[in-house]
A and B are shown apart, each in its own frame.
Chain A
């Protein structure tokens, strides 16, 4: 990879040059300046700087001073106020360097997919550290534990906690707690004792003056999996959610263990091992309970406070995000204040508050919170890794011992693996979804150590822990090894092991509904069985939440609404946005209509934007914020529109500029205008198109509907500021009072235009007029709803007769290149073979295209047409049946296991139902009773009855439904 290497090398030197210029400056004026501000970014090394060096570098600024002084004691036109701005300046420069570095790494796509960002940042840190060291002969900057624990770590943990998928986290809480507590304890003790053993056996050099307590202390700080490193590496690997949450949750929760062990050992080291009494061990255990539970409680208390406060921010939307940051951070600091587990506190504050805060604050605040948190976390992470690199360069801080380093590396790796396997073995007896071997490998390998360990080891007192320098060096090596080597190799490993990846599936309303329904169903079944299992308790919690917590923490207008509705709106907005994002380039096959609130019952021929778009065949940009220059045939129309709009839009709008308020965020003047212009623009175009008849009423409807949707606010009946386009006269809207305005703007913020992706009443094949290229790229191929085409294609046999499969996409986010058509075709044929029962020969005639597709070599259609395929939905794993027919791929391993379990019954079953001849090309339709028989073959004992008896009498078997019934 020469090019990215060269590129980044060049860029690195560029950055380095900047830094080189900047670094001496702070250093030079640093000496003699005692005030460093709260953030001790510049390391105290500056104070120890040799005076001559300073003098040499001081010359330039000093010279300026002198000249100015010589000029006369009068007013100085230009003053050099470095000491005044120093601290924030250095911080800002650091942030700048870190951010620029981040940009540079992402110049090369290919490079960043191979090398994790954290590796590059550490390398950059090494380079920067080397440069500073060469320039100053002394390391200026280092990862200060105070800086790290008070500022950098909270931003990352806050982000992680607040956006933690709560459900996933609590679903796996048992596993997370086990790994975090038992696993960390195991790691720490084993590593400590083993190192001590190595020391006794003289594998570790004599110079390392450490006894058992020191090694246990070191084991404690080195054994904890680090949240920052795990996040940085795992975010790029995209393993499946469960795996991620277990590793990441562990790295967060083990903080309590690490903190306690660290403190206990420190105190043991201080008093000396001989003076430790038995009571102290129990104190240690008690301390662990207090630190962890106390931290959690502090977090939850702050979560309640946060939820409660945001309930009342309706009038001051602008400070909503601030509350979120402040209280989450306060949760961290408060826990730190009482020396509880700050990470736990912050995590639980985030998890707990998220639901209520998100419901309470406005959409814009949500976005702000999200972006700010992500920005801060990202930059903090960058700084941490750069500083790790820089710190490593400082040779005065560490001492090397090969024995210690290699022993530590080996031990932490082995004990991590052993611990994971052992705990998983126990856990799998209780888990609903067991963790398989591959998961365990990834979990063992993903045990990354990071900056927390480094900060803790730097915090050690060199007086008491004699071997501190050795420990520092070892920690640095361990951190670098895990972050860089394991971070670099975990991606290929995950690929090689075929670890199930997380699919970037967007949530659908279906899933929301099913998730809730399944919860209820499982709870009901558990209750019927008289079990008090997981679902039972979750249901209890939800009842409690609904009856008490939500009433306390949610504002009334929100509380009334079901979460399902919230989810619906979010998904709706997301769909609309994805449609809009696409709009600029490609036609979408989504069905989109404006606005969602409108009553469709009263306007059955509701305007369908997408129809319009389709028929016009132009790339229309549906952006809410800007008027986009639509290329092509639309330009003329646009200019016309623009002229029309320019005539009656802008002047009256100016009025609003005077209404500046600091206390709420008015819709930006420009933005508001743009949005209006856009709306009018769109409507104008629709007007000009024959396909739309009712848009004239749209605005009124939306207004009406918006009022209707919130009866409480309806009563205010304030004139809208969003003026409909067809009010020909420029309308001056009376703005009554500040309150009214706030209310308006709030509504604007929160509701605005809502899109609803809407189903068309009839299947709508693509118009033939669309150019072939567009058709190929966007029509049936694009239709699978943003899912991989091979898995998820519209079931072809269901399409209208003689037509290609209808467009069924809500959001056509995937455009499939022509060269993927083959794959798509194959997936059609395979899909067809699974669920289509033996199609009558006429079906082939009706679907010429599909029958052609099915002749693709490699998709042995005839075999799939055996009668057995009709039941393959329910009996999948019988190998005799399956050859050539479709199998759900992810099911195979599981099914194999099941096969083993019912192995002894196979012969019996196969005599019961002999496998059909594989060569049948046009088999007869299955006999009515055959399907249950097939089902029986799979799980003969359990499901025999359920399959036979489940469908109510009179209904046909569901799996034997075929095209004839559709």
Chain B
């Protein structure tokens, strides 16, 4: 790990609550995704973005319905082009140390397809169609969506706010605690 000091300054490392070890894993992974774009030297914050196409075209992800959405939510420009910081953020949000509310917030963001800070019906329908791979009829999707809203929409405005979402998801304390990965 001797060479990581040459890649990052101490402050840069401090900005992420991931251990050096994990950090270097992630960095090299990031670099592996696009060796031609990402320089090895990060001391002066080069402005490098990993285009979404690179992530979206990974063979492991081709069946994953949320790949684009995840890239969008975690990327700063909202279009799935990830800087190294975005990349690291993604893992820090899903690390064990991240507080539950932050996770809930990002989960909420992932559902919120149209970025209006509410999960509205169209968001739900999108989610459902992604989850079921369009196996349900429109009718069925709508019924399920209504049920979802019915359960979670506490203010009866026909859409889920972040409060609604958190409220609902915190009912099961173990739910978000499993929402993390280990690196």
Query: Taking beta carbons and an 8 Å cutoff, which residues of A are in contact with B?
Result: 171, 240-242, 430, 432-433, 500, 503, 505, 508-511, 513-518, 520-531, 533, 535-536, 539, 543, 560-562, 564-565, 568, 571-572, 591, 596, 599, 756-760, 762-763, 785, 787, 791-792, 794-795, 798-799, 806, 808, 810, 835, 873-874, 876, 888, 890-891, 895, 898, 901-902, 938-939, 941-947, 949-952, 955-956, 958-959, 961, 966
Contact = CB atoms under 8 A, between A and B. Distances in A.
A531 B149 CA distance: 35
Contact of A565 (B14, B107, B140, B152): B140
Contacts, number: 244
Given A511-B175, A517-B66, A955 B117 contact: yes
Contacts of A505: 171-172
B161 interface: yes
B8 interface: no
30 contacts: A432-B181, A514-B107, A516-B131, A520-B66, A520-B131, A522-B179, A524-B64, A528-B58, A533-B182, A564-B128, A568-B143, A568-B144, A571-B147, A591-B150, A599-B139, A787-B171, A792-B171, A794-B154, A874-B99, A938-B99, A939-B98, A942-B17, A942-B92, A945-B15, A945-B85, A946-B92, A950-B109, A958-B162, A959-B162, A961-B162
A782 B163 CA distance: 20
B63 interface: yes
Contact of B150 (A432, A794, A810, A946): A810
B53 interface: no
Residue in B154, B167, B173 with the greatest tally of chain A CB atoms within 10 Å: B154
Given A513-B128, A901-B97, A966-B155, 16 more contacts: A433-B174, A433-B177, A500-B173, A503-B172, A513-B127, A514-B175, A517-B107, A520-B64, A524-B61, A524-B64, A539-B64, A568-B143, A572-B147, A942-B18, A950-B109, A951-B117
Given A596-B143, A759-B149, A517 B131 contact: yes
B151 A510 contact: yes
A511 B70 contact: no
Contacts of B105: 874, 950, 958
Contacts of B173: 500, 890
A763 B171 CA distance: 23
Contacts of B109: 950
Contact of A873 (B58, B152, B166, B169): B166
A532 to B, nearest CB: 9
A891 B100 CA distance: 9
Smallest CB-CB A-B distances: 8 pairs = A798-B155, A942-B17, A562-B132, A527-B60, A763-B156, A759-B150, A942-B92, A524-B64
Given A565-B136, A942-B98, A524 B93 contact: no
A126 B76 CA distance: 72
A810 B154 CA distance: 11
B169 to A, nearest CB: 7
Contact of A564 (B26, B63, B91, B144): B144
B178 interface: yes
A791 B171 CA distance: 8
Contacts of A572: 147
Contact of A508 (B16, B29, B93, B151): B151
B53 to A, nearest CB: 14
A518 B179 contact: yes
B15 to A, nearest CB: 6
A943 B92 contact: yes
B97 A898 contact: yes
Interface string B22-47: 00011001001000000000000000
Contacts of A516: 131
B112 to A, nearest CB: 10
A523 B60 CA distance: 9
Contacts of B106: 950
Interface string B108-135: 1111000111000000000110111101
A792 B166 CA distance: 11
Contacts of B130: 520
Contact of A876 (B70, B73, B101, B162): B101
A599 B138 CA distance: 11
B91 to A, nearest CB: 7
A808 B66 contact: no
User: Dominant SS at the B interface?
Assistant: helix
Contacts of B26: 529
Contacts of A898: 97, 99
A99 to B, nearest CB: 36
Nearest to A516: B131
Given A562-B135, A946-B89, A517 B156 contact: no
Contacts of A560: 135
A525 B157 contact: no
Nearest to A560: B135
B90 interface: yes
Contacts of A956: 117
A946 B102 contact: yes
Interface size class of chain B, counting residues whose CB lies under 8 Å from the partner chain: 35 or more
Contacts of B64: 520, 523-524, 527, 539
A528 B90 contact: yes
Contacts of A762: 156
A888 B181 contact: no
Contacts of A950: 73, 105-106, 109
A225 B89 CA distance: 44
A543 B64 CA distance: 10
Contact of A527 (B61, B127, B150, B174): B61
A225 to B, nearest CB: 23
B183 interface: yes
Nearest to B111: A517
Contacts of A949: 76, 89
Contact of A528 (B55, B96, B97, B155): B55
Interface string B62-98: 0111110010010010100000010001111111111
Nearest to B180: A432
A808 B107 CA distance: 23
Residue in A514, A539, A760 with the greatest tally of chain B CB atoms within 10 Å: A514
Contact of B90 (A525, A895, A944): A525
Given A520-B64, A945-B15, A835 B163 contact: yes
Contacts of A952: 78, 115
Given A513-B131, A520-B131, A756 B143 contact: yes
B152 A510 contact: yes
A942 B90 CA distance: 10
Contacts of A591: 150
B37 to A, nearest CB: 16
A565 B134 CA distance: 12
Nearest to A571: B147
Contact of A941 (B16, B60, B107): B16
B107 A944 contact: no
B143 to A, nearest CB: 7
A641 to B, nearest CB: 31
Contacts of B97: 898, 901, 939, 942
Contacts of A531: 181, 183
Residue in A520, A560, A961 with the greatest tally of chain B CB atoms within 10 Å: A520
Given A513-B127, A942-B17, A562 B148 contact: no
B106 to A, nearest CB: 7
A941 B17 contact: yes
B167 A792 contact: yes
B7 interface: no
Given A785-B151, A946-B92, A433 B167 contact: no
A565 B140 CA distance: 8
Contacts of A891: 99-100
A955 B78 CA distance: 13
A539 B15 CA distance: 32
Contacts of A596: 143
Nearest to A591: B150
Contact of A943 (B14, B29, B98, B149): B98
A648 to B, nearest CB: 34
Residue in A503, A873, A898, A938 with the greatest tally of chain B CB atoms within 10 Å: A873
